[in-house]
Structure 1
Amino acid sequence: MSVALDTGTIIQRASGHLEDLTGHVFDVLEVSKPISAAAAVNLSKVVSKLSPLLGNLIEFNTVEFLNKQKDFGGVGKWRRQDPGFPDTVFDGVSPTPGFEIKAWFPLATEITARFKDSQAHFIHDNTYVCMLAWLPEHIIYGKPYILDVVVVSGRSVAEARDNHYHNPPFYVVREPEDTTARTINLQQTNTNGYRIQTADSARIAAANKLIASWGANGKAYSPDPAYQDKLKELMALLTYRLDTNYAKMDRIVHTGLEEFKARVMRTKVHGLTIAQWDRLFRSAEQARKALAKAVLLKSSAALIARFTARVADAEARLAQVLKDRLGITEADPTDLLE
């Protein structure tokens, strides 16, 4: 006897299938093995640029993968939205279940993907975020594979973002203007963050007095139009600038995402944790920057010699680890010309 599937059940089952993608290898592209330790360091900086491409591959694969699962047969079908939010939706039940796919290369400086959609978009809690951490098979070269997966509620991410950023009068999160009269491709669902630029204490005091008049929970964020009107009045009193770093997922401080990041960085690959690989690749560069600064400041010969030795030590350690664990050695220049 078949069991009727509702939105929550479909999301729950699909989330389990997505988490099972851990370890999946994408054989449609491959990063070549670097020819030296220096090339490996440079590659570690640029391989993250594959994340948008890999994200698209994951979106295609997600739809195909989920539609192969017997759980959803006879109920509906998964479909990719491009463009559109979220990336993947299930046609067959209402409210429509969906997943927004985010790819993360953990050797990058941070998770640069953003999440700006309004809380109002998640009233039914039917859209979830699927973040996939990926690496090449050999840390920086080889075929990309999924290292780990986390699935969290989109509503919880939006709420965590707004609670983290919104702090009037110093920082204000604003909803998009009402664009429902526009065609679908021109409708806006993204929030924005604004950072205060006013330094005048009298104007800030006046702003705080206005906020106090909103009541005990006046600083608590709400997408409600009445609260947005209050924020509009506040922003008329002070000068603000648009925050271009707003809503980066690495800065939202969402419990589930923070736990996922920590778990990924603790994961061992080729004998070292991701955090250790990250420090290894950055150590030589940091030593070189310290040496360059010492030279620029015309530091003593002894200090420059000490920094020079640190650079040599960091580069030697990096070269040894890359040789022992990834088989990367210095290539013969004459071989490269053949």
Structure 2
Amino acid sequence: MEYREILETASTHLASMKGQIMPVLEVARPNDIEYAKHLAKVISKLSPLVGNMIEYNVCTELNKLEWLNNGIWRRQDPGFPDTVFDGNIYPIPGIEIKTWFPLATEITARFKDSIRFFDDDQTNVALVAWLPEFIIFGKPKIIDVWVGTAKSLAMARDTHYNNPPDYLVFEPEDTTDRTSNLQQTNTNGYKFQGTKNEFSKALEIVKSWGEGYSVYDYSAEYQGKIKQLLGSFSYRLDTNFAKKIKQLLGSFSYRLDTNFAKIDRIEHLELEAFKFACIEYKNIESYY
């Protein structure tokens, strides 16, 4: 078997898990209407725990298939992708598994890994949508599964966000000489924060790059241009978890976008269709 065949077989199996009950935990049936109302309000709080257990269980499911002694699937959380085929196959096939509780929130999972790491299309992303089998109680039930290539997600993300000078998408630094725990693989996005007059000046600089300046490119040449833009002017680092805000002096201001790379916002066409199919009431009703 070669890596594409392994990845296709695994992805097809994941997609076939639609409707499957996952024996990871069970919420007891409420005894009265008041407790049922309470469950309806708090059941979503189980999402992180159940999601992690489903991700682990999916790896077990993949190892039930026959891989002709080429290897086995194993979890490497917190590595990326979190499920990889451990064997004698190269490039190593991998699947990043994300879970989603449609009745709770938007798809909060993020996808920040650089498109540079998917040249061989050796990695897929699986989004597993689940609900309790009886809406607010019972075991988790997979209501649908979307599987796509990591490369297509990264391309959709970068195309959606990159819009210099208003929005800049940065590739990770080259860290190939570092140990595995110090490798950088994530992209980052910065949003323009200056005045209209400052924006006009920044736009003139960007236009001087020539035709196609707004088309995203992860090449060293293009990355060098936006780094010069960001490095020449001031920007503001603004994160939800930072205890200090560091501002570099200059002419323009940018902030780090904490919503950057949320899967729900990158406008991947196939994923959008999957999302709307899951949240339509008539479709969810059909699963029960």
Shorter chain as denominator, the TM-score bin is 0.7 to 0.9
Q: CA deviation at 1:226?
A: 1.6
Q: CA deviation at 1:268?
A: 4.2
3-state SS in 1 of match to 2:157: helix
Do structure 1's residue 246 and structure 2's residue 246 form an aligned pair?
Answer: no
3-state SS in 1 of match to 2:152: helix
Counterpart residue number, 2:73: 78
Question: How far, CA to CA, are the matches of 1:269 and 1:255 in structure 2?
Answer: 19
Residues 47-102 of structure 1 deviation map (CA, whole Å, 9 limit, x = unaligned): 233233223222322222112212x1222221111220001111231111100000
* Residues 31, 143 of structure 1: 8 Å contact kept: yes
CA separation of 1:207 and 1:145: change in aligned 2, threshold 3 A: same
Q: CA deviation at 1:37?
A: 5.2
* Residues 161, 167 of structure 2: 8 Å contact kept: yes
Aligned residues between the structures: 268
Counterpart residue number, 2:169: 173
CA separation of 1:118 and 1:46: change in aligned 2, threshold 3 A: farther
Counterpart residue number, 2:111: 115
Question: How far, CA to CA, are the matches of 1:77 and 1:161 in structure 2?
Answer: 31
- 1:28-67 matches, within 5 Å, as 28-34=24-30, 39-67=35-63
Q: CA deviation at 1:24?
A: 1.6
Where structure 2 has 5 or more consecutive residues not aligned to the other structure, the ranges are 234-251
* Structure 1 residue corresponding to 2:229, chosen from 224, 231, 234: 234
* Residues 23, 139 of structure 2: 8 Å contact kept: yes
Do structure 1's residue 205 and structure 2's residue 200 form an aligned pair?
Answer: yes
Q: CA deviation at 1:233?
A: 1.4
TM-score (norm 1): 0.74
Residues 276-312 of structure 1 deviation map (CA, whole Å, 9 limit, x = unaligned): xxxxxxxxxxxxxxxxxxxxxxxxxxxxxxxxxxxxx
Do structure 1's residue 161 and structure 2's residue 157 form an aligned pair?
Answer: yes
Counterpart residue number, 2:131: 135
Report which of the two has the higher share of helix: 1
3-state SS in 1 of match to 2:213: coil
Counterpart residue number, 1:258: 272
Question: How far, CA to CA, are the matches of 2:32 and 2:173 in structure 1?
Answer: 53
* Residues 55, 101 of structure 1: 8 Å contact kept: no
- 1:279-290 matches, within 5 Å, as none
CA separation of 1:269 and 1:232: change in aligned 2, threshold 3 A: closer
3-state SS in 1 of match to 2:128: strand
TM-score (norm 2): 0.86
Instruction: Answer with 155-164 or 178-187: which moved more.
Output: 178-187
Where structure 1 has 5 or more consecutive residues not aligned to the other structure, the ranges are 275-324, 326-338
Question: How far, CA to CA, are the matches of 2:175 and 2:41 in structure 1?
Answer: 40
Superposed CA RMSD in Å reads 2.1
